A and B are shown apart, each in its own frame.
Chain A
C-alpha cells in the first residue's frame, strides 16, 4: 500500500460559506484532506456561531456545538471584506487556492467583485461552486429570492408529502436541503477536480439548493408525471410494504421501527409475536397486510407496548426481522456500535475542552481520513494563512491588522 496521503492533500479551498449548506460542502473537502480556509468576519459572524448549544449554557462565538460540528478540521481567517486591503487578501487567497466555495444569496459574491470571471482571472484553473437557494442570478425569475434552510423543505415539495395522514404538511426534523446540497456540491466539485486533473481546465458550478432536494424526491415527482397524482401524506407507511411503522414501547417516549418487506420476514415477525398470527388469514399476503394495515399495526403495537425498544430489537433481529430503536441523541451518544467503530471525534478545543462530535461517515481504508483538529476559533488561523500560505511578511500583517482589515 502506498504512503497514506489523503486524497485531497495539497488541494486548498477558499471557503466563503456560511450557515450549513456551504460549510457542509467544504466539510467533505476537509474530511478528504483539503486545506479549507474559511473566510470569516467578526462583523458578519456565521449564524451557527451564534446559535446554541453552548457548554454550560454560556454563549460565545467559539462555543457553539452547531458551528463546531460542521467546521471540524478547517482553518479560520478573519477578513473585513468591506476594506479594500482585506479584499486584496481574499484575492491572494483565491490565487493560492484550487477551489472556491460560496453560498451567499445569488449574485452577492459577484457584486463583491469575486464572481467566477474575477476568480478565473486570478487563478485560471479554479474550480468554483456557488450553492444558492434558487440557482445562479439570472437563471430564472426567482433566482434572487431569499432562501432559509427551514423554508427549503416546503419549497422542495418534501413537506407536501411528509406528515401524519390527515394532518397539515410537516417538516422532516432538520433543514434537510442544507446537508443534501452540501453533499451534492462536494460530489460536483470532485468531478470537476477529476476533469481538471485530466485536462487542466477549471470551471464554474451553479448549484441550486431547491433542486438538490428535489433530486431526492423521484417517487413523489414521478407519481405526478406518471399517474397524474401525487402520493398522500401517510405518516410512516409505505405504498407497498406492511408493517412499516414506528411503534410505542414501554418507557417514556420510547419507540421502535419495524418493517417487513417479504413474506419470509413477515412470518418471522408473526412467529416472534404470537405463533397463531403466522396463520392469520388477514395478513397472509403482502396485499392483505397492506389492506388490513390498521389491524396489523394494532396487533404489533400491543406487543411492543410492554417491551423496551431494545428488547423488541433484540428479539426480532434474532429472527431476521428489520427492527430498530428510534434513537435519540443520548442513545447515539452511548451507542456501543458507533463507539466500537472509532466514529466519534473528540479533540481538544481551547474554549470548550473536549466534546464528542459526529465523525466521518465514510472510511477510506487505503488513505485513512481523520479529523486533524477541532473546529477553529474565530480568526484562529489568520496569521498562519497570511504568513505560511500567502507568504506575507510580519510587518505587512501588522499593517493589515492596524488598519482593521483582519477583523
Chain B
C-alpha cells in the first residue's frame, strides 16, 4: 500500500474562498480544507459567522470558543471583511482572481450585493468554480423565502417521516438532532464542487455550481418518496413497521437497538436469550407476524433486555452475527475502544490555550490522509497576512481597518 506519503495532501495548492455562515458552506469548505485545500474564510465584521454564537461553550459564551465553529472551521484562514462595502468587494475580487473555488451560502437576493456574482468573478478568472448553496436554489417561485435549518428539514420531506409511530398522532413530525439540513447541503456541495474542480483541471474552465438545500434532502428519502409515484401511497411517521424486531429496548444501564431482519438472525437471538418459551408462540413465527404482534412481543423482549447490560448484549449478539447496536451516548463514543483504535477523534487547539476533542473525518486515504494542520481561526486573525500579497500596503490596510471595511 502506498505509504501516507511525503506529506502531500490530496487537494494541496487548491485555493478556496469561503463566504459561509453556520453549517452549509463552512462544512463543504471544511471537507476540502481537511484534505489539504487552502481555504480563506471571509466573515462579517463584529459578529462573524453565526456559528460562533451557537456553542456548545465550556462555561461562558465566547465567540472564539464555540464548539460548532471550532469543528467546522479547522484548517482555514480567517479574514473579516464587510462585503457590502465596495472596498470589501474589491478584496473578494482580488482573492477570487487567484482562487480555484469560491463557495458561499449567501441568500440569492444578496449575492450581487456581496460581490459574489459568478459571471463577474469568472470574467477575471476563467478557471474559477463558484458554488452557491441556497435553500431553494437560484430559481423558482420559492427562491427568496427565508428558511432556517428546521424549515428545510420540513421542506425536504424528512421531518414528516419521523415521529412516535402508531398512536402518536398528536406528536409533531420530528427533526434529527442538530443542523442536519446544513450538513447534507455541505456534503452535496463538496461533491459538486470537487466534480467541477476536476473538470476545470482538464478544461481550464470554471463554472457556476448551484446547490438547492431542499433538493439535497428530497434526494435522501430512502424509498419513502417513491411509494407515491409507484403506488399512490404517502409514507407516514404514524405507520407500523412492516417487520420486527427493529426497535429500541431499555437495558439495565441504557438503551439498545435490536435488529433481526433475517430469520437466521432471529433464531440466533432466541438462542442467545436462552430459548424462552414465548419465542415459540405462533404469534411470533416470522418477521411479519412479529411486526403484527409487536405490542405483545415488545413486552417479552423488554423484560429480557431489562436484565442485560447494553455492552454485554451488543457484543454477545454481534458474536453471533446479529446486527444489534448500542444507542451510543456521547460518552460511549468518546470512550469507544474501536474508535480509539481507528484514531477517529482529533484534538485541536481551541485558540484560548486549551484543547478540544472533535470528530475526525470518516475516511482514511492511504496516500493522502486528511489531517489537522491548523485550528479554526479567530475572527479576522489572518486579515493582514492574506491582504498583503493581494497588493495592499500596510497603510492601506490600516485605513481599511479604521474605516470599518476589514477587521
Contact between chains at B10 and A195 (CB < 8 Å): yes
Given A183-B191, A330-B234, CB of A341 within 8 Å of CB of B227: no
CA distance A30 to B140 in the complex (A): 26
Given A160-B328, A224-B330, A330-B234, CB of A211 within 8 Å of CB of B154: no
Identity of the chain A residue whose Cβ is nearest the Cβ of B70 in the assembled complex = A222
Whether B201 sits at the interface, judged by CB under 8 Å, is: yes
The contact of B325 among A152, A174, A328, by CB within 8 Å, is: A152
Q: Which of A68, A168, A210, A222 gathers the greatest number of chain B CB atoms within 10 Å?
A: A222
- Chain B residues with CB under 8 Å of A222's CB are 56, 67-68, 70-71, 356-358
Question: Could you give, for residues 330-355 of chain A, a 1 whenever the CB lies within 8 Å of some chain B CB and a 0 otherwise?
Answer: 11110011101101000000001001
CA distance A2 to B188 in the complex (A): 24
Contact between chains at A146 and B318 (CB < 8 Å): yes
Contact between chains at B68 and A326 (CB < 8 Å): no
Contact between chains at A219 and B179 (CB < 8 Å): yes
Contact between chains at A201 and B2 (CB < 8 Å): yes
CA distance A192 to B11 in the complex (A): 9
Whether B367 sits at the interface, judged by CB under 8 Å, is: yes
CA distance A156 to B164 in the complex (A): 20
Contact between chains at B322 and A146 (CB < 8 Å): yes
- Chain B residues with CB under 8 Å of A163's CB are 174
Identify the 10 closest CB pairs spanning chains A and B, nearest first.
A366-B207, A65-B226, A222-B67, A173-B161, A173-B162, A362-B192, A361-B215, A224-B330, A211-B362, A190-B194
Question: Could you give, for residues 126-161 of chain A, a 1 whenever the CB lies within 8 Å of some chain B CB and a 0 otherwise?
Answer: 000100001110011111011110111111111111
Query: At the interface with chain B, which of A81-89, A255-263, A389-397?
Result: A255-263
Contact between chains at A366 and B172 (CB < 8 Å): no
Closest approach, in angstroms, between the C-beta of B40 and any C-beta of chain A? 19
Whether A372 sits at the interface, judged by CB under 8 Å, is: no
Given A157-B330, A332-B225, CB of A54 within 8 Å of CB of B325: no
Question: Could you give, for residues 160-198 of chain A, a 1 whenever the CB lies within 8 Å of some chain B CB and a 0 otherwise?
Answer: 111110011111111110111101111110111111011
CA distance A61 to B324 in the complex (A): 28
Identity of the chain B residue whose Cβ is nearest the Cβ of A213 in the assembled complex = B362
Whether B98 sits at the interface, judged by CB under 8 Å, is: no
Identity of the chain A residue whose Cβ is nearest the Cβ of B179 in the assembled complex = A219
Closest approach, in angstroms, between the C-beta of B39 and any C-beta of chain A? 14
- Chain B residues with CB under 8 Å of A284's CB are none
Whether B306 sits at the interface, judged by CB under 8 Å, is: no
Question: Could you give, for residues 182-218 of chain B, a 1 whenever the CB lies within 8 Å of some chain A CB and a 0 otherwise?
Answer: 0110011111101111110111011111111011101
Chain A: number of interface residues, binned into ranges: 35 or more
Contact between chains at A259 and B174 (CB < 8 Å): no
Whether A225 sits at the interface, judged by CB under 8 Å, is: yes
> Interface of chain A, helix or strand or loop or mixed?
mixed
Given contacts A191-B10, A230-B329, A324-B152, 15 further A-B contacts (CB under 8 A): A7-B195, A32-B195, A159-B327, A162-B177, A172-B162, A172-B176, A174-B220, A180-B184, A203-B368, A226-B58, A246-B154, A322-B148, A326-B173, A340-B139, A363-B210
Contact between chains at B196 and A151 (CB < 8 Å): no
CA distance A334 to B392 in the complex (A): 53
Contact between chains at B235 and A329 (CB < 8 Å): yes
- Chain B residues with CB under 8 Å of A164's CB are 164, 171, 174
Whether B402 sits at the interface, judged by CB under 8 Å, is: no
Contact between chains at B230 and A55 (CB < 8 Å): yes
CA distance A247 to B206 in the complex (A): 44
Q: Which of A173, A183, A199 gathers the greatest number of chain B CB atoms within 10 Å?
A: A173
Given A160-B329, A194-B201, CB of A326 within 8 Å of CB of B159: yes
Whether A356 sits at the interface, judged by CB under 8 Å, is: yes
Contact between chains at A364 and B192 (CB < 8 Å): yes
Contact between chains at A214 and B227 (CB < 8 Å): no
CA distance A191 to B32 in the complex (A): 8
Given A159-B248, A361-B218, CB of A186 within 8 Å of CB of B330: no
Would you mind naming 26 contact pairs between A and B with Cβ atoms under 8 Å apart? Answer: A28-B191, A65-B229, A140-B342, A164-B164, A179-B220, A183-B187, A187-B31, A187-B191, A206-B364, A218-B68, A220-B178, A221-B334, A224-B333, A224-B334, A225-B356, A226-B56, A240-B55, A246-B172, A246-B174, A324-B145, A330-B228, A343-B212, A355-B226, A355-B229, A357-B226, A358-B219
- Chain B residues with CB under 8 Å of A194's CB are 10-11, 14, 194, 197-198, 201
CA distance A193 to B191 in the complex (A): 12
Query: At the interface with chain A, which of B76-84, B253-261, B269-277?
Result: B253-261
